[in-house]
Structure 1
Amino acid sequence: MDFKYDIIVVGAGHAGCEAAVAAANLGSKTLLITMDMNKIAQMSCNPAVGGIAKGQIVREIDALGGQMGIVSDRTAIQFRMLNRSKGPAMWSPRVQSDRAKFIIAWRSIIENTPNLYMWQDTVTHLLFGNGEVAGVKTRMGVEFSAKSVVLTNGTFLNGLIHIGKVQIGGGRMSEPASFGMTEQLRDIGFKTDRMKTGTPVRIDGRSVDFSLMEEQKGDDDFHKFSYLDTVQRKLTQRSCWITYTSEKVHALLREGLHDSPLYNGQIQSIGPRYCPSIETKIVTFSDKTSHQLFLEPEGETTHEYYLNGFSSSLPLQIQLEALQAVPAFRNVHIFRPGYAIEYDFFDPRQLNPTLETKRVKNLFFAGQINGTTGYEEAGGQGIIAGINAHINCHGGDPFTLHRDEAYIGVLIDDLITKGVDEPYRMFTSRAEYRILLRQDNADERLTRRAYDLGLATSERMVLLEEKQKEVQKIIDFVSHFSIKADRINPYLEALNTAPLKHGVKLIDLLTRPHIDLETMAREVNPLRELLSTIKSQREEIIESADIKIKYEGYIKREKLMADKINRLEEIRIKNKFNYNGIQSLSTEARQKLTSINPETIAQASRIPGVSPNDISVLLVLLGR
């Protein structure tokens, strides 16, 4: 066995797996160290991938040559495209996954990736040399050397689980916490803090009365996560179920509030506002008489369900009594109560855009260690950290994504520029260029960059080029094909849309809300014949063309805005100023700019506390 590697990745969660596979596929000899090889990419919270804004991140990971989308498609037991009633900038894919098969699929990928090796152990210390990271030391006393190390420790650093007054050391239920790493990094100057989150009860479906719940089935169409044409959903599809709490449930929950660590102050760590515990909800929204509960299947064949909306740290007996007050759960049997967990994280403003730490060269952080939450946010950071760890080992320009290129770019820029005051979760509202960052075009935005890097395969590039060629062929056709008013007016009147007074180009009709290429093809033979020539990715190509046609004006306008801002991204200022010596800057700006040392003028403009006037001062000093 060799003890020398190019890259060591610590932790095999969603960040670690993406980092390790990306680095290995790029050619780095990579070691993935995990406490338990049977829990690789464990879905420690709900058995689902994607959702609002998160689904866009998964498609971006896939477009870059990552694995999360592929694994999600292979293990999906339900797929839904959320927000279809809104514009395409808001469409967000989401799957329910088979939790056990998700792990198996990921392990298969890792075991069959060239250059990638595994070791089951716990890392307790980093090794350093000449101001750089040099490797790791494990609980077994084994020392591994490496040129770069990526830390993806999740919730395991000094993790502590709370169920009422019961406290259990652990990173997840029945999994031990990791000790030593935080203390070592703090001693060399890293800023660290504590975060908290919670997870709901797990329920035995055999004890649920589904007749008292509302069924929610998945979509049955062409949508999926991966742009690869060969990845399809193959498992039996299952429904989710909806029910509600009541005033009786809330009364029972209130009886236990004094014993809730998430509520009573027992846990002082930073917690999420957007995903509150059930006990927090009944206090914060005391005027509400009910809250929605969403029952999600954990797998294709298991009876285990995850109760979304019932995150809790209340004592077991209180959780059980409150659940039994819900009619559908009156005879409920649970597999495991909900619990809270608190853990260490590091201020992400200590990172460069590559996710390399500013304090120690060749040391990278990715995932919840940076104060984020969610599998998708972790995976997005992981692939960027893995790519840049490889570049640090073998040379090349740093690989980063701008805010107009990817939600991953928004995520990382937010982290390193603004820091976190709660577990960071991606929302569409965080992205100023949502119409550019749609779920349907992540391949167009990112695959060529990943291919040039050597990560995206030629198969992906061929599919992208074919898609772009076919989309352009459709747009060219409808832009030049004329249609007469008397020919199409009966159809338009049947749709209750305004008839034409004279002939127009077909593209002018396709900009109307209730008209798309598929419906128009039923009326226009040449268009139908053109669409029939598309042999692969047919639905995806037609949808992409529809979106480009309908939203062309919005897309162009947003692109112009992004181009203006990107001019500021090209003005590099890192290490160019002694900010403390610039008295014309505000006091807060001097402090923030000194602390973060932004890469560009654009990044400086996004730092909280740096005003437009401060940016003007810097531009004047630069001679601009």
Structure 2
Amino acid sequence: MFNEVYDVIVVGAGHAGSEAAAASANLGCKTLLVTMSLQNIAQMSCNPAMGGIAKGQIVREIDALGGYSGIVSDKTAIQFKMLNKSKGPAMWSPRVQSDRMRFAEEWRLMLEATPNLDFYQEMVSGLIIESGKVAGVKTSLGIEIRSKAVVLTNGTFLNGLIHIGEKQFGGGRAGESASYGITEDLVKAGFEAGRMKTGTPPRVDGRSLDYSKMNEERGDEKPQKFSYSDETSPLKNQRSCYMTYTSLDVHDILREGFDRSPMFNGRIKSLGPRYCPSIEDKINRFADKERHQLFVEPEGWNTVEVYVNGFSTSLPEDIQYKALKSVVGFENVKFFRPGYAIEYDYFPPTQLKHTLETKLVDGLFFAGQINGTTGYEEAGAQGLMAGINAALKVKEQDPLILRRDEAYIGVLIDDLITKGTEEPYRMFTSRAEYRTLLRQDNADFRLTPKSFEIGLASEKRMKRMEQKMAESEKMVQFFKQTSVSVEETNPILLEKESAPISQSDKMFKVFSRPQIELEDMLRFRDVSDYVLENNLDEEIVEQAAIQVKYSGYIEKERNNADKLTRLEDVRIPDAFDYSQIKSMSIEARQKLAKIKPITISQASRVSGVSPSDISVLLVHMGR
């Protein structure tokens, strides 16, 4: 059945595996996607949503590179929100509520329609490694399937252990078994392994809730979409979410179960996600808080299943139920299933190259939670890059590595490779030093040309991006060349509490004022006429407005990025011996010898390496 040698085998069909398989196959490589359940491809194991703070930027970047996440999110969305609109555009982050069942279905249909992609349902129990190079995988039935590269995207399944109160049992997800064998093979090959924890809230029956007692959370009045392609359209109808709160009574009930909590009685020894703590962790760490928000999120258009965001827990099921019944609106709640915590194996990502290929085994790539991250978006981004680079390696082409000033994906991977992580890593806008450059609105400008160059983004998508760029640049020039009168301008400026002008001035200068927003620009007759005459859509107008309003910040950040990028050109020899540099700190020598950064810029970001250590290194290299 498996006589041929595949170019790339992808193990696991979560968000990372699905993106990896699609990217590899679309780059022309014969690809096999192996999963323990073909019914659960791209399953939303936790919340039914895509995007959010910084995560929305990542989904846009995946889409700009030719991945599927943005298209699937648009086609299966039930609500759209642009978060942080009250802040600058560097902080704007798109987010959708998704129809969980339709999301997985759409992913499967898109993958099945992808040429060069085969599927097989079985557990992968080991790797074939020959002379330091991966040569395929072994399955639980004893089948050997050979390939030139392998991408491991095992999620929470590697030796997964589920905790509910004092009960624990093997599993990679509720109702699904754990995966065994791969960790042992990797440790035998010399990899360092660790354990991490994540958790999920109870799912409840929406028919048992009283929404009239909760705050309704609607989507945007003018919803946008994730994908830059014309394959999807903005939502016409949306479903509301709701918000309620815990209380001191709820907290007291939860504390009744602390002695049986695996978090507090020592059963769970691994670290969970800092920025998505369990409800018991929240009331323990923030004992002064009288209440915590709970977001009540529908799981789809038609299902009555509801996700209780903010109530992640591994407490005993009777405590979960008793506490949730004391939440306003949940007095008659019925459970679909209790919340639980899960521990699983991961491999510290400092063992990887920036291509996500392992340093120890040639042709073996890791992506997703196996690298210590949390979140669908972070997993999808890694899967896409691992799939791209596995395919490029097989084709003997140069890899695709994104810099920190080019993409949030570049920040994500660079953080993992150079700093490592001891707790589930989650992306935030604050992690990116060039976030004014890495906005959600310009991901296609930044990344589609790179994807088109390697053959992933289509010519149609490239032309669409070029047209959008040309039209937005043309509008910026219009702002630079067109003047506004005192009579038309001053009433608007005074209304916005901005100093009036004494003579006519160029639009570019007036619109650069911090008080002036896009809506104010469109109040000028010449601007509204220009938009109508050129039939410009909102995306282009918004892009041009951002370029004008934030031109100073963008230019300054670009200059800073260019200065630091020069250090990316200073390469460190592969066999560089750090132990010989006695004037460098012992910690720096040890960390650099372990991580083996490729450039001075990467070395400067390694945890424990100081600026003085970098200066010593530069002097030693004759720089």
Does the 8 Å contact 1:353/1:413 carry over to 2? yes
Counterpart position of 1:551: 550
Q: Where does 1:44-63 land on structure 2 (aligned, <5 Å)? A: 44-63=45-64
* Cα drift, residue 236 of structure 1: 4.4
Q: Where does 1:102-251 land on structure 2 (aligned, <5 Å)? A: 102-233=103-234, 236-251=237-252
Does the 8 Å contact 1:235/1:300 carry over to 2? no
Q: Where does 1:281-296 land on structure 2 (aligned, <5 Å)? A: 281-296=282-297
**AA partner of residue 486 (structure 1):** E
* Cα drift, residue 581 of structure 1: 1.8
Q: Where does 1:461-472 land on structure 2 (aligned, <5 Å)? A: 461-472=462-473
Does the 8 Å contact 2:57/2:439 carry over to 1? yes
* Cα drift, residue 212 of structure 1: 0.6
CA distance in 2, matches of 1:505, 1:490: 16
* Cα drift, residue 495 of structure 1: 4.3
Q: Where does 1:407-556 land on structure 2 (aligned, <5 Å)? A: 407-517=408-518, 519-525=520-526, 527-535=527-535, 538-556=537-555
Counterpart position of 1:584: 583
**AA partner of residue 324 (structure 2):** L
CA distance in 1, matches of 2:184, 2:130: 18
Does the 8 Å contact 1:20/1:32 carry over to 2? yes
SS, match of residue 329 in structure 1: coil
CA distance in 2, matches of 1:534, 1:164: 62
Does the 8 Å contact 1:77/1:235 carry over to 2? no
Q: Give the count of matched residue pairs.
A: 622
* Cα drift, residue 514 of structure 1: 4.3
Does the 8 Å contact 1:222/1:539 carry over to 2? no
**AA partner of residue 530 (structure 1):** Y
2:567 corresponds to 1:568 = yes
Of the structure 1 ranges 88-97 and 232-241, higher mean CA displacement relative to structure 2 is found in 232-241
Counterpart position of 1:595: 594
2:334 corresponds to 1:333 = yes
Does the 8 Å contact 1:77/1:299 carry over to 2? yes
CA distance in 2, matches of 1:495, 1:327: 41
SS, match of residue 343 in structure 1: strand
* Cα drift, residue 532 of structure 1: 1.4
CA distance in 2, matches of 1:129, 1:187: 13
Per-residue CA distance 1:294-345 (angstroms, 9 max, x = gap): 1111001111010011000010100000011113111100100000000000
CA distance in 1, matches of 2:523, 2:601: 49
* Cα drift, residue 485 of structure 1: 1.3
Does the 8 Å contact 2:273/2:374 carry over to 1? no
Does the 8 Å contact 2:201/2:339 carry over to 1? yes
Per-residue CA distance 1:377-425 (angstroms, 9 max, x = gap): 0000001100110011111111100000000000000101111010000
Counterpart position of 2:376: 375
CA distance in 2, matches of 1:471, 1:318: 56
Does the 8 Å contact 2:199/2:341 carry over to 1? yes
Q: TM-score, normalised by structure 1?
A: 0.98
SS, match of residue 150 in structure 1: strand
Does the 8 Å contact 1:32/1:118 carry over to 2? yes
Gaps spanning 5+ residues in structure 1: where?
none
CA distance in 2, matches of 1:103, 1:2: 27
Residue 107 to residue 233, structure 1, CA distance change in 2 (3 Å): farther
Per-residue CA distance 1:559-611 (angstroms, 9 max, x = gap): 11101110001111042521112211111111011101111000101111111
Per-residue CA distance 1:451-493 (angstroms, 9 max, x = gap): 0010011121111111111111111111011222134333433
Counterpart position of 2:605: 606
Of the structure 1 ranges 146-155 and 127-136, higher mean CA displacement relative to structure 2 is found in 127-136
**AA partner of residue 80 (structure 2):** F
Residue 277 to residue 192, structure 1, CA distance change in 2 (3 Å): same
* Cα drift, residue 441 of structure 1: 0.5
Residue 468 to residue 235, structure 1, CA distance change in 2 (3 Å): closer
Does the 8 Å contact 2:214/2:328 carry over to 1? no
Of the structure 1 ranges 584-593 and 351-360, higher mean CA displacement relative to structure 2 is found in 584-593
Counterpart position of 1:404: 405
Residue 279 to residue 53, structure 1, CA distance change in 2 (3 Å): same
CA distance in 2, matches of 1:487, 1:47: 47
Q: TM-score, normalised by structure 2?
A: 0.98
Residue 330 to residue 474, structure 1, CA distance change in 2 (3 Å): same
2:58 corresponds to 1:89 = no
2:361 corresponds to 1:347 = no
**AA partner of residue 148 (structure 2):** K
Residue 521 to residue 246, structure 1, CA distance change in 2 (3 Å): closer
Per-residue CA distance 1:197-243 (angstroms, 9 max, x = gap): 11000010000011110000011325211011331245841111100
Per-residue CA distance 1:125-176 (angstroms, 9 max, x = gap): 1012222000011112221110000000000000010101111210000000
Does the 8 Å contact 1:50/1:58 carry over to 2? yes
CA distance in 1, matches of 2:523, 2:313: 53
Does the 8 Å contact 1:295/1:307 carry over to 2? yes
**AA partner of residue 112 (structure 1):** A
SS, match of residue 396 in structure 1: coil
Per-residue CA distance 1:346-372 (angstroms, 9 max, x = gap): 010000000000000000000000000
CA distance in 2, matches of 1:125, 1:451: 35
Does the 8 Å contact 1:236/1:300 carry over to 2? no
Per-residue CA distance 1:502-527 (angstroms, 9 max, x = gap): 110011121234434554344323x3
CA distance in 2, matches of 1:178, 1:603: 34
**AA partner of residue 609 (structure 1):** G
Does the 8 Å contact 2:80/2:235 carry over to 1? no
Does the 8 Å contact 2:351/2:359 carry over to 1? yes
CA distance in 2, matches of 1:149, 1:279: 39
Counterpart position of 2:35: 34
SS, match of residue 147 in structure 2: strand
Does the 8 Å contact 2:79/2:235 carry over to 1? no
Residue 574 to residue 151, structure 1, CA distance change in 2 (3 Å): farther
CA distance in 1, matches of 2:551, 2:579: 46
Does the 8 Å contact 1:204/1:305 carry over to 2? yes
* Cα drift, residue 498 of structure 1: 2.6
Of the structure 1 ranges 132-141 and 494-503, higher mean CA displacement relative to structure 2 is found in 494-503
Does the 8 Å contact 2:81/2:223 carry over to 1? no
2:306 corresponds to 1:297 = no
* Cα drift, residue 494 of structure 1: 4.2
Does the 8 Å contact 1:75/1:235 carry over to 2? no
SS, match of residue 329 in structure 2: helix
Does the 8 Å contact 1:48/1:96 carry over to 2? yes
- Could you tell me the percent identity over the aligned residues? 61
SS, match of residue 306 in structure 1: strand
CA distance in 2, matches of 1:372, 1:232: 31
Gaps spanning 5+ residues in structure 2: where?
none
* Cα drift, residue 262 of structure 1: 2.2
Does the 8 Å contact 1:262/1:277 carry over to 2? no
CA distance in 1, matches of 2:429, 2:219: 22
Does the 8 Å contact 1:260/1:315 carry over to 2? yes
* Cα drift, residue 612 of structure 1: 1.1
* Cα drift, residue 496 of structure 1: 4.2
**AA partner of residue 575 (structure 1):** D
**AA partner of residue 469 (structure 1):** A
Does the 8 Å contact 1:74/1:233 carry over to 2? no
Does the 8 Å contact 2:406/2:438 carry over to 1? yes
**AA partner of residue 550 (structure 1):** K
Counterpart position of 1:616: 615
